[in-house]
Chain A
Amino acid sequence: MDVRLQISMVFHLDKCIGCHTCSIACKNVWTDRKGAEYMWWNNVETKPGTGYPTAWEDQEKYKGGWEQKNGQPELKMGGRVLRVLNVFHNPNMPTMDDYYEPWTYRYEDLFNAPEGADQPTARPISMVTGRPIDIEAGPNWDDDLGGSPVYAANDPNLDALTPEQRQEVFDLERLVFFYLPRICNHCLNAACVAACPSGAIYKRGEDGIVLINQERCRGWRMCVTACPYKKTFYNWSTGKSEKCILCFPRLETGQAPACFHSCVGRIRYLGALLYDADLMLEAMSVADDKLVEAQREMILDPFDPRVCEEALKNGIDDRTIEAARRSPVYRYVKQWKLALPLHPEFRTLPMLFYVPPLLPVMAKTDDGLYDTANQELFSPIEKARLPMEYLARLFSGGNIEHVRLALKKQYAVRLFKRLETVGDLDPAQVHRALEQVDSNEEEAEQIYRLTSLPTMDERYVIPPMHREEAMQMLNDDLWEEKGEAGIGFHERATRGA
């Protein structure tokens, strides 16, 4: 057992209102600069929809993530030698047109235009060339247009549906969409790390945050292709790739990342997970529909004394283990099985998990009448307007059972609370519902509390980051430095040359 720590995330999709506050918070803090205008380290997509960059989930086009080759995981974009040869021209590199050309407006024109019969206008100006442009796409071009055949029909995930189901999804009566906020997943088996020819991208051992060393990045741009979530971005001005840093400077001072902190819907949870790195190769090598389970298997129980012992041996200290015990992510992902990884079939072992949304039900029945009576216990789940296959395509490598359980459990919790607050349900039936999802009243109450009423401290359980230990990077034996003029990246205070 090789116990490691990962700062991990849960997004509760039922709570996201699609306000984009998270994206703006991130943009203001990190990417409001030349060359980074088009980058949205955090973005919120409408599903069904094509997302950003357009159709990023289509790996036949973008060649992101891993695949099994001769029983070994290999990057979908090809092997090492190919990657070194492709530095001259990366055949699978998305271009700015797959995202959008950033623009601003010539606002001065509004004030400086000569007097005339017409209203002056502020023309859109490209932020790359400085010339007027016709805007053809933007960061949220298909925002809220789920269900519209123009954009949503190109959603790569719809291939999980039968032609009839596809047809139905676009029926006016079924019109449905939900939001999918996305940041870097800080994967365990990060494809960007593996693809970087310079070795500039790395995972921080102490918290699992994936970072790009800006000084070692040489602009070979393989990470842009390799990341199946398209969350590494090429800065066209500095010639370096950049990505979400999970606001590590904030985490190190005990604050939640900007997008978490600002989230209006309070959908975001952050906490530590202990996992067994020895199981990694195994977890990324199973069949698509087994991936969720295999990844869950990797996550260790922080209450297990043996795990704690191994963790301590690996240098994880007890206050960190303590934080892992209070981690909301551990509960959602491992204990409650409510949160699922996004596209586990990309095999990067993403560490951002989503609670799938309870979608509106399909109230209309075959003969055109609305029938709400005579419902089976979980029929609203089965009759959801968006077929469950779609959610399974997103969150469980096609395994419907995981999605079904997550939805049923959320629904059972609702029934349980309704019984308590409204009291118009049959208690026996509610208990039957809880039993069917392998749950009980106590757990239902906990799920309810952490979903609906959590305080900020319950949503973000940030372990102490122990940056003081970073000094060990510089010298194994800090006693050696005792009596010196400080420690760190600095010149020694010596006399003369």
Chain B
Amino acid sequence: MNLAVRPLTAMIDPEAGPPDCATYEQRGGWQATRRTLNGLAPGEVIDIVTRSRLRGRGGAGFGTGQKWSFVPKEPASERRKYLIANADEMEPGTFKDRWLLEGNPLQLIEGMLLAAYAIQAGHGVVFLRGEYHLACQRLERAISEARSRGWLGENILGSGFSFDIHVHSGAGRYICGEETALLTALEGRRATPRSKPPFPQTGGLWGAPSVVNNVETLCNLPHILVNGPEWFVGLGTGGDGGTKLYGVSGRVRRPGAWELPIGTPLRQIIEDHAGGMRPGYELRALLPGGASTAFLDVTSLDIAMDYGSVEKAGSRLGTGTAIILDDRTCPVGMILNLEHFFAQESCGWCTPCREGLPWVERLLAAIEEGTGEHDDLDQLARHGRMLGMPGRTFCAHAPGAMAPLASGLKLFAEDFAAHITRRGCPLRHAA
């Protein structure tokens, strides 16, 4: 039953721990692999995934089937190619991939195997953030179990297709989640992003064709291949296919994460699932999908949480995990906290981001501490415009950093002004 409405998390049971190979198989696992490896051509898999309307769950929302279609078509045996799972999950306020990694690592392994078959990649890498110790243990254990049962390795199910997975534990830098920086990190270099083209699909890890997909994206694949693209499209409520892991953090009654149809209204997520605000607090605004998405205010609560609707409201679905700003927390302090993160995590490669983000942080700190001037607001807005535009910096880090700033300057104009005229924070974050 659950498998039909919440496929991604149906097998996750925090009490029992992750399923082993036998349990996974008993509950429907590996079916997709059997059907696909011996029944479908790689091109057919790409076609099915394209028709399912699965879009990347890593933040940018690129069509997964379409992304794969740019990979050169030679069989895996003839050309070195890579399929990489992005498990870096470092976007502040995001805690969805850890749920899948710890709860059902075999599902990710099967998803990777299917994606690798579609693009004919023989090599798999999981780029796992270094702080996810439990996820690392469980993933390693699941990989060796899958290998010992023939789900990974040479000539899987006698299909002639070979694939294996290696886990790379990172050492903590947000930029490693950006797909080209991730490739650079795997090559043992300082992890700065690369210019595109070449795109990873043609010139990725060690120059070989590579696809980088988010953990949640990959975990959808076994279900799409068992139940078909029409079923997947039917799970969503708007134009997008499938379910989505949504989350809420901040001063709500029940912070957490839930698997829901993609396109579930924001209000329903916050009020029904997160239980609404804690007594004594009111919702003031929120970041709908992690730290690098623009603020939305209460007038947007009735939007559907799908890619198009959130964009129309002026923000991005991002990772789908919302961060709530309540009426007793200072918006200027919150934006300062966010910009401190982005300034610290700038990789330093291009000047506007390396110099601009710390400048933004200093201006915000001055305003919060009561030494800000009205001119500072113009300076902040100028940064928001200059760095916010994609193409002005080498990668999307700086535009992401500017999203909460530019939207916050407008939405909280009175708070910013009050900090300057009253020489400090009227709300002084007391916790």
The answer to whether A and B come from one shared complex is no
B-side residues, CB < 8 A to A, are none
A-to-B contact residues, CB < 8 Å: none
